[in-house]
Each structure stands twice: as structure tokens, then as C-alpha cells.
Amino acid sequence: MATLPAPQATPPVMTGAPSAAAALAQARASTMFVRPFFEDKARAFWFLQAAGWSGYLILRTVSSISNGFTLQGVVTNIIETIVGYCITLLLSTLYGYYRGLPRITGIILTLLTLGAATFLYALLDTFSFSFIKFAAPGIDVKLLIGALFLNFTVLAGWSALYFGINFYLIIEEQIDQMQHLETQASSAQLAMLRYQLNPHFLFNTLNSISTLVLLKQTERANAMLSRLASFLRYTLINEPTAHVALAQEIETLKLYLEIEKMRFEDRLRPEFEIDPAAEKAHLPSLLLQPLIENAIKYAVTPQEEGAEIRVTARLAGERVQIIVSDTGPGLQATKNRPSLSTGVGIANIRERLAQAYGADHRFEIQAMPQGGFRVEIEIPFQLE
């Protein structure tokens, strides 16, 4: 028997690149079979309505045949099914209206409507039965009482299925909304963490350019501005929540180091050791940027001889291991090395890794015994 109100169907919108007609037809057929049954509520309603009452007709007909086949009995069952089908269409409309009312009012009206529909159904069944069976049609009280019991069972079962399936759909819709909101919240948090980095490196670079201008080194300041423009172009083109290939992330780091090397010259000595097998691995964009800035600020700047900054990446099974280390002073005896001047560095990376990979990552920081600082990141190997 039928369930669900019959809302207006909303046709699905299909988009995609142009292709051959056969491929498009195959894609549509594939979509038809994998699409959830209740995605189109109107289609689901009419399908269940037709299937339910067809099954009821077959069941009643088989029951009549077992008691002796008569054409009059079959006609009576057909009329009974058609009447029930029409009454449940009316019930679906009224129930859909009642669901928008206050709960107590809706329950009372639903029970009253079910009782009235049962009486009407029994009355019509009794009259049609007497019209076919007897020479003088009329309403027989005994037949009416028997029909009331049968019709109440049928309509009450239909109503239970109606409200049960609608309750299920409401729960599913709320779950989908919660998942959508969680995804939006996660994306917003990732975007916030990502945008936290932009003011930080922009401040440091503009400060370097300002220093060069004060020293009247205009050519170097102009070259640094050009590299800064290229760097900012990269940060603005990429989505804040996007993942990029490790090779692209390394090229961005090299571009940033070229900017800083104009200020520190030979004091800044970067080295890269990247496993070709790991270059295609994807990770959050600018994930390593704060670590490089951290190394420049606390390893290169304090020492007259500067420091080396080494970036190593290798593939270990299905994991990617990335190490950023320097030859700076490491942790001072009197004061721990801070994360970044704006306080977003290490905490930012931890949050971005947690958002991107959950618990499926490793992030460790340590001071080297011989001096220097080391940060190791391990993430799953992902191509997208």
C-alpha cells in the first residue's frame, strides 16, 4: 500500500563534458540505478501506491478463489481496491497537511480522519457488495460491521506505513543536513587556518623589502617585489582548503626562499632532498610554509654564520614522511623556541593536519643533540 504525500517531482540536473550519445545514455542509465529510491518522492509515492494496492488486489483475489471462483467476487475485489486506492490518495493529502499543524492537533485530526475514512470505505464496500450480490441493493448492518474491521485494518496499516516512511525520510534529511553543516564547518575552519598564514609571511616579506628600500637597494627590492607577486599569485589562485602535489609545494617553498635569500644571501643555505616517488603525494597547500619561516627566524637570523635549512621527503610504503630541519641553536637553555612571532605556526600546522587527516597522521618536533631543530610530518600517500 502507498506511503508518502505526492509532492511535485523535481527533475535531476545532469552536467558533464560533452561526449558521445551512447556514453551519455549509459551514464544516465547508470545514474538511474544507483540513485536512492526516495530521492524523487513523487516517483516513490506512486510506485509504492501502485505496488501496494496491486498486491492487496492479488491477495484478496487469491483468497476469494480459494473459497470458490466467481466473477462477481473478482469484480467486488476490483471495486474494493479502486475505492481504497482513491481514499488513500485523499488521506495522503490530508496527512500531509496535518503534519504542518501542532503535534496534538495533528494527532487528533489524524485519528478522526482515519475513523471517518474507515467508515466511508466500509459503507462503499458494503453498498457495492450488495449491489452486485443482491437484487435489492442496500446497507446490511452485519456486512457493514465486518467491513469496518477489515477496512480499518487496511487503512490503519497504510497510515502506519505512511508515517513510518515519512519519519524515516525526516531523520535521513536531518542526518544529511548535519553532515553538510559539519563539512561546511570543517571547510571554514581549514580556510581560517590557511588564511592565518597569509598576513604572517606577507608582513615578514614586506619588512624585508622595506629594509632594502631604506638601504637604497632598489634593484634588489624590485626583484623581491617581483618574487613576492609570484608567490602571492600562487596563494590566491589555490583554494584555501585545496590539497596540492608535494612537488608544487616544494616549488612554492623554493620561491619563498629566493625572496628570503636576497636578504640573507649566503647565510641562508637551503637544501632539498625529495624522493621522486613522493612528489605526486597531495597535502594541504602551504603546510610547510610556517616551518620554513620558523627556521629562518630562529636559526638563520640569530647566527652570524646563518644556518642550513633542509627539507626531506620520502615515500615509506603507503606513507609520506616529510622532515624540515635546521642547523640553528635549537632550544635555548633559558627559553623555549617559540612557534612563530604571530603565534600561529606549530599550532596552525597541528590543526590543519587534524582537519585534513584526523588521527591518521604524525607530527613530531624535537631539538637535535648537536644543535638545530627538526620537525617530522607523516601523512597518508594520497594522489587526490
- Which pLDDT tens digit goes with each residue over 260-316? 887 788 899 999 999 999 999 999 888 888 888 888 888 998 888 999 999 999 999
- Whole-angstrom distance, CA of residue 283 vs CA of residue 298: 25
- 2 to 80, 113, 150, 192, 236: CA distances (angstroms): 15, 17, 17, 49, 54
Instruction: Report the DSSP beta bridge partners of residue 379.
Output: 320
Same domain, 293 and 167: no
Considering the domain architecture, whether residues 29 and 148 belong to the same structural domain is answered as yes
- Say if residue 34 is in the same domain as residue 123: yes
Looking at residues 325-332, what average pLDDT do you find? 80
pLDDT at 351 (0 to 100)? 83
Domain tally for the chain? 2
Q: How confident is the model over 110-126, as pLDDT tens digits?
A: 999 999 999 998 888 88
**Torsion-angle region of residue 358: left (phi > 0), alpha (psi -120 to 50) or beta?**
left
pLDDT of 129 reads 78
On whether both 36 and 167 belong to a single domain, the answer is: yes
Q: What pLDDT is stored for residue 85 in this prediction?
A: 92
What CATH number is given to the structural domain containing 329?
3.30.565.10
- 196 three-state secondary structure: helix
Question: Is there a contact between 307 and 327 (Cβ–Cβ < 8 Å)?
Answer: yes
Query: Are residues 28 and 153 located together in one domain of the fold?
Result: yes
- Structural domain for 225, as ranges: 217-380
User: Of the residues 127, 155, 179, which one is the last residue of a structural domain?
Assistant: 179
Q: Are residues 155 and 229 located together in one domain of the fold?
A: no
- Residue 234 to residue 249: CA distance in whole angstroms: 10
Whether 272 is in a domain gets the answer: yes
The reply to whether 223 and 360 lie within a common domain is: yes
Q: 69 and 135: one domain?
A: yes
Q: Quick one: 210 exposed, middle or buried, by C-beta within 10 A (0-12, 13-18, 19+)?
A: exposed
Instruction: Give the per-residue pLDDT at 339.
Output: 43
Q: Are 79 and 29 within one domain?
A: yes
Average pLDDT over residues 157-179: 88
Cα 382 to Cα 32, 282, 319: the distances in Å are: 31, 6, 9
Does 230 share its domain with 375? Answer: yes
pLDDT band at 326 (very low <50, low <70, confident <90, very high): very high
Phi, psi angle pair for 360, to nearest 5°: -85, 55
